[in-house]
């Protein structure tokens, strides 16, 4: 079996991201509470990136910065919310680092529109925000920013100043959003990061806008999102399969080794959307529910969760828990820390889809260091299905030991076949 690519010695990212559970409302107290749980329960298994997603610059309450909703400095760079992070992000990063964790941060591409309206100066230049803003370059789902014209030197200087500030907070990972469709700005941000003495991993978001003709541009980062936001819906579980297949085919077609990893987005397990309790009365005609619904426990069942996380482990995609860690269940903890799952994820090789015979789909990846192959046999249907696995499916010449990882049992060969029976949306995660 020819693997699409190996990603060197740097293992895939594991950790936690705040968006699924807190959206733009994470504050200092909640952040520290979740970081402490992460350090205690997940760090021993290599979950070391603690990531604050969007909203960290948003002002709330009496300390709001006028009516802009953003806390910005005199050069138009976003600063931590005084209402939600009164001690600042450098202090939060220090607390996170003291727990043995690494600190990740979300950043929107571009220059905030309020900065352009005020025409604030660009640090280190004699020009102003309107001179470097590209008013035609906007985000389809956010009105926060305009793009930056990086074809003028001052556009690069603007990004240099933004990254200088973020690096001064001792950030270890930067997730840049609305960036995938804009390779020139990817290059500018990567160049700004390269100037830093600190090692900062660059991750590109969002998904569903990826163009494989631009794959070389994405390699300025360590990960690129393949899908839209992944939530606790069957459709989000389903779309990851074909997205990953497209990625592996495109990477293999380039014929070169790459460090770029596919990102299938966060694991929407546990308590989600905490800031938005369901209303006690029906919404009025002009009211809408908040982004992605109301506070809830993940609607995924155990089989769907196993499929979600198994595909990501096989892919070397980031494993970023999305639900609140302060409410981490024993079931989710077992899923996140299963030893074979961790070993497969650490392997650093992106699996390939070996076979698709609807509703069965088989993904395989071999260990770089041991005579082991991990196989995911997925039932992509809404009904119970039975599959007969041959030696060819499992990459064997003769029958050998096959272990069912999630059910913790060896499987038996019958006439050179192994039969697996899977409920809807379930996976047989096998160690061969």
Which domains, and CATH codes, for the chain? 14-350 (3.20.20.70), 354-431 (2.60.40.1180)
Element containing residue 52 per DSSP (H, E): strand 49-52
Stretch 5-23: mean pLDDT, rounded? 82
For residue 381, CA distances in Å to 87, 229, 304, 427 come to 49, 22, 11, 11
For residue 166, CA distances in Å to 64, 188, 292 come to 21, 15, 29
More confident residue, 63 or 304: 304
**Using an 8 Å Cβ cutoff, are 184 and 150 in contact?**
yes
Please give the share of the chain, as a percent, with pLDDT higher than 70: 96
Stretch 316-336: mean pLDDT, rounded? 98
Q: Give the pairing type, strands 223-225 and 201-204.
A: parallel
Please give the share of the chain, as a percent, with pLDDT higher than 90: 89
Element containing residue 418 per DSSP (H, E): strand 417-422
Q: Helix or strand or coil: residue 280?
A: coil
Tell me the angle at which helices 234-254 and 302-315 cross, rounded to the nearest 10 degrees.
10
Instruction: State the pTM of this model.
Output: 0.95
pLDDT score, position 160: 98
- Residues 51-95 pLDDT 10s: 999 999 998 754 443 334 899 999 999 999 999 999 999 999 999
∠ CA 208-210-215, rounded to 5°: 160
Stretch 367-385: mean pLDDT, rounded? 96
- Residues 198-234 pLDDT 10s: 999 999 999 889 999 999 999 999 999 999 999 999 9
Q: What is the dihedral of CA 205, 210, 216, 221, to 10 degrees?
A: 10
- For 8, phi then psi, to 5°, come to 60, -150
Minimum mean pLDDT range among 112-116, 285-289, 382-386: 285-289
Stretch 347-357: mean pLDDT, rounded? 94
Q: Helix or strand or coil: residue 158?
A: helix
User: Any alpha helices (H) in 271-329, and if so which ranges?
Assistant: 302-315
Q: Give the pairing type, strands 49-52 and 14-17.
A: parallel
How would residue 286 be classed by pLDDT, with cut points 50, 70 and 90? confident
Tell me the angle at which helices 302-315 and 330-337 cross, rounded to the nearest 10 degrees.
20
How would residue 287 be classed by pLDDT, with cut points 50, 70 and 90? confident
pLDDT exceeds 90 at position 258: no
pLDDT score, position 65: 39
Q: Give the pairing type, strands 296-297 and 271-272.
A: antiparallel
Task: Please give the mean pLDDT across all residues of the chain.
Answer: 94
Q: Which residues pair with 108 in a beta bridge?
A: 177
């Amino acid at each position: 079996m020819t693997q699409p690519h190996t990603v060197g010695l740097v293992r895939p990212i594991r950790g936690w991201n705040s968006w699924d559970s807190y959206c733009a409302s994470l504050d200092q107290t909640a952040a520290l509470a979740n970081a402490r749980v992460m350090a205690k329960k997940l760090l021993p298994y290599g979950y070391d990136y603690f990531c604050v997603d969007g909203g960290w610059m948003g002002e709330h309450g009496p300390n709001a910065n006028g009516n802009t909703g953003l806390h910005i400095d005199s050069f138009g760079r976003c600063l931590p919310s005084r209402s939600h992070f009164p001690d600042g992000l450098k202090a939060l990063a220090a607390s996170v680092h003291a727990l043995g964790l690494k600190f990740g941060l979300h950043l929107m591409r571009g220059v905030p529109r309020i900065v352009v309206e005020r025409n604030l100066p660009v640090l280190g230049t004699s020009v102003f925000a309107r001179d470097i803003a590209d008013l035609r370059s906007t985000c389809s789902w956010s009105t926060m920013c305009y793009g930056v014209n990086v074809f003028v030197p001052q556009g690069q200087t603007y990004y240099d100043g933004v990254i200088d500030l973020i690096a001064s907070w001792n950030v270890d990972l930067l997730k840049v959003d609305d960036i995938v469709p804009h390779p020139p700005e990817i290059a500018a941000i990567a160049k700004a990061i390269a100037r830093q003495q600190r090692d900062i991993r660059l991750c590109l978001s969002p998904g569903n806008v990826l163009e494989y003709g631009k794959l070389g541009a994405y390699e300025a980062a360590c990960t690129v999102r393949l899908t839209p936001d992944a939530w606790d819906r069957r459709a989000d579980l389903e779309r990851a399969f074909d997205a990953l297949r497209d990625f592996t085919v495109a990477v293999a077609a380039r014929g070169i080794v790459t460090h770029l990893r596919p990102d299938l987005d966060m694991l929407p397990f546990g308590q989600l959307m905490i800031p938005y309790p369901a209303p006690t009365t029906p919404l009025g005609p002009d009211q809408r529910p908040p982004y992605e619904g109301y506070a809830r426990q993940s609607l995924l069942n155990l089989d769907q969760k196993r499929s979600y996380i198994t595909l990501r482990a096989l892919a070397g995609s980031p494993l970023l828990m999305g639900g609140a860690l302060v409410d981490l269940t024993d079931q989710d903890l077992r899923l996140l820390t299963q030893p074979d799952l961790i070993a497969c994820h650490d392997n650093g090789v992106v699996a390939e889809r070996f076979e698709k015979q609807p509703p069965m789909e088989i993904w395989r990846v071999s260990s770089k260091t041991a005579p082991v192959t991990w196989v995911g046999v997925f039932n992509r249907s809404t009904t119970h299905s039975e599959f007969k696995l041959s030696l060819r499916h499992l990459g064997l010449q003769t029958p050998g030991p096959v272990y069912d990882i999630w059910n913790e049992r060896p499987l038996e060969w019958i006439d050179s076949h192994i039969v697996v029976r899977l409920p809807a949306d379930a996976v047989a995660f096998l160690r061969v």
